[in-house]
């Protein structure tokens, strides 16, 4: 075996010939010839760099936002991945958002690992960044064009939920950075971007952004260290922007003032006053012992630390069980609770997750069993939870595991599980939600269905037993 900065090769004859073993292609490419470009491969897990975020694009595409390898794209819901795109040439894509029209917008930079412990000082960040851009794609991530070049790293892109022409970007620079806004996003490269007023205490390190249905914007500013001390500056925290007054309000808890990470909106609170903020502990002084997950139920007027951990990056609600919350940490792995609404939730470490630094958690809209976890240093991880068993009125955890065989299917497939399946109804829908098959038998006749991806909903009486994705390939 021979490894280098990006590849792994193996010889079985003492070095006379070599074969690559860093991907698992269905048909290996021939030796001594150029490798075809823009092909898709099945990973064996050697993308040992950082994956920051994912963006799901119907009907079955996923955009992976990476450092060093720029980004990846899958068109088969993560089964295979490739570099089948043009126009994105930055070292890092930090995040990607999809508009209601289907256009993708991404935040890019040549400065990698922003707001990790090694990228907090001005001298590491403030240089000119020719790839500090917002870029866009109208073909599902295959072709990217520049929307706006800021000349400094762009860490986040957020689309306004109340105005499709408006978007916000986190641009990072100690004196020239901040949150920028455009109100003519649809004009692409001709759009105008303006820096919003500087929030109190901040020094140009904006991080995550969420927009509220009342038009306000919630943003975190992350850590900044100065080399002369060295120490953290009290320029981090959580802030709320009011477009009516064109001003920011500092709603930070005291412990957020040094090294704050993501802010996440509670999807179950229709008033949008419940937020969760992830915080890192610093080192070398006042920033020590501040880390954890903080919750507000009154739009930042008061905060409670509901998870005491050294460094928390982000959190994510399970869309099937809104009281279930996953939490990512820097060195303590992946954690979760089954009852986040409690005043003191019980936290459990996911002992199966294999890496110490997960970044963010995503739930696959194409497969209700799939949970994707991005990591800082271990690429992208995929896990599966059991098929869903839930009443329409409660949050009962999954207890019934069903599966579909064969997958992918051709002319028929069968749902298998426990005895209750004999009391179920099976509804197959296409990607647009149209019913293409209804059956009360677990063996499904697919002869009238064309090739493609379908959603299978399994119900029993008034209960929805499971939602599964099946693929028909002929």
| pLDDT digit string, tens, across residues 445-459 | 888 888 777 878 887
Whether residue 228 sits in one domain with residue 99: yes
In a domain, residue 58? The reply is yes
| Cα distance between residue 91 and residue 191, in whole Å | 24
* Torsion on CA atoms 350, 354, 356, 361, rounded to nearest 10: -60
Whether residue 96 sits in one domain with residue 14: no
Picking from 353, 384, 415, the residue at the C-terminal end of a domain is 384
Where does the pLDDT of residue 241 fall: very low under 50, low under 70, confident under 90, or very high at 90 and above? Answer: very high
pLDDT (mean) for 232-246:
97
Residue 441 Rama label (left phi>0; alpha psi -120 to 50; beta)? beta
Q: What pLDDT is stored for residue 469 in this prediction?
A: 65
CATH classification at residue 117: 2.130.10.10
In a domain, residue 197? The reply is yes
Where does the pLDDT of residue 429 fall: very low under 50, low under 70, confident under 90, or very high at 90 and above? Answer: confident
Q: Is residue 24 classed as helix, strand or coil in its secondary structure? A: coil
Residue numbers of the domain that contains 458: 403-472
SS (H, E, C) 235-249: CCEEEEEECCCCEEE
Q: List residues bridging with 372 in a β-sheet.
A: 362, 382
pLDDT (mean) for 264-290:
94
Q: What pLDDT is stored for residue 395 in this prediction?
A: 45
Element (H, E) at 136: strand 133-137
Whether residue 104 sits in one domain with residue 58: yes
Q: Is the pLDDT of residue 387 over 70?
A: no
Asked if 296 and 273 touch (Cβ cutoff 8 Å), the reply is yes
What is the per-residue burial (b if ≥16 Cβ within 10 Å, else e) of 25-51? eeeeeeeeeeeeeeebeebeeebebbb
| pLDDT digit string, tens, across residues 18-57 | 888 877 655 677 777 888 888 888 877 677 889 999 999 9
Greatest Cα-to-Cα distance within the chain, rounded to the nearest angstrom: 73
Where does the pLDDT of residue 392 fall: very low under 50, low under 70, confident under 90, or very high at 90 and above? Answer: very low
CA distances from 439 to 425, 436, 458 (A): 6, 10, 10
Number of domains in the chain: 3
First to last CA, the chain: 38
pLDDT (mean) for 303-316:
97
Q: What pLDDT is stored for residue 394 in this prediction?
A: 42
Element (H, E) at 122: helix 122-125
Whether residue 428 sits in one domain with residue 329: no
Q: Which two tokens stand for residue 297?
A: 């139920």
């Amino acid at each position: 075996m021979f490894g280098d900065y990006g590849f792994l090769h193996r010889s079985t004859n003492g070095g006379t010939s070599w074969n690559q073993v860093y991907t698992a292609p269905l048909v290996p490419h021939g030796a001594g010839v150029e490798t075809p470009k823009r092909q898709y491969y099945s990973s064996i897990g050697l993308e040992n760099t950082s994956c920051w975020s994912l963006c799901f694009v119907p009907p079955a595409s996923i955009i992976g936002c990476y450092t060093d390898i720029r980004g990846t794209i899958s068109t088969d819901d993560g089964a295979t991945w490739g570099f089948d795109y043009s126009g994105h040439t930055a070292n890092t894509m930090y995040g990607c958002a999809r508009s209601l029209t289907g256009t993708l917008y991404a935040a890019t930079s040549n400065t990698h690992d922003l707001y990790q412990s090694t990228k907090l000082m001005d001298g590491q960040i403030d240089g000119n960044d020719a790839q500090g851009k917002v870029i866009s794609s109208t073909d599902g991530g295959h072709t990217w064009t520049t929307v706006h070049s800021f000349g400094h790293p762009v860490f986040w892109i957020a689309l306004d939920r109340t105005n499709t022409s408006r978007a916000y970007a986190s641009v990072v620079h100690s004196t020239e950075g901040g949150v920028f806004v455009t109100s003519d996003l649809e004009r692409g490269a001709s759009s105008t971007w303006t820096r919003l007023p500087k929030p109190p205490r901040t020094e140009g390190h904006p991080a995550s952004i969420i927009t509220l249905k009342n038009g306000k914007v919630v943003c975190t500013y992350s850590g900044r260290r100065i080399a002369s001390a060295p120490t953290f500056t009290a320029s981090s925290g959580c802030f709320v922007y009011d477009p009516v007054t064109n001003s920011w309000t500092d709603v930070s808890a005291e412990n957020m003032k040094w090294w704050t990470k993501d802010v996440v909106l509670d999807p179950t609170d229709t008033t949008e006053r419940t937020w969760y903020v992830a915080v890192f502990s610093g080192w070398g002084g006042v920033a020590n012992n501040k880390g954890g997950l903080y919750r507000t139920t009154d739009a930042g007027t008061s905060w409670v630390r509901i998870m005491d951990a050294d460094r928390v990056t982000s959190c994510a609600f399970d869309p099937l069980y809104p009281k279930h919350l996953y939490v990512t940490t820097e060195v303590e792995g992946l954690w979760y609770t089954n009852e986040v609404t409690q005043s003191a939730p019980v936290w459990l470490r996911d002992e199966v997750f294999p890496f110490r630094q997960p970044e963010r958690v995503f739930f696959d809209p194409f497969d209700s069993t799939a949970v994707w976890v991005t990591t800082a240093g271990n690429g992208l991880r995929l896990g599966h939870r059991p098929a869903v068993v839930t009443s329409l009125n409660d949050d009962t955890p999954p207890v019934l595991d069903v599966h579909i065989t064969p997958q992918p299917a051709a002319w028929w497939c069968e749902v298998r599980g426990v005895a209750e399946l004999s009391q179920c109804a099976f509804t197959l829908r296409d990607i647009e939600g149209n019913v293409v098959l209804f059956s009360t038998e677990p063996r499904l006749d697919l002869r009238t269905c064309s090739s493609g991806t379908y959603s299978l909903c399994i119900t029993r009486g008034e209960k929805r037993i499971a939602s599964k994705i099946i693929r028909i390939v002929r």
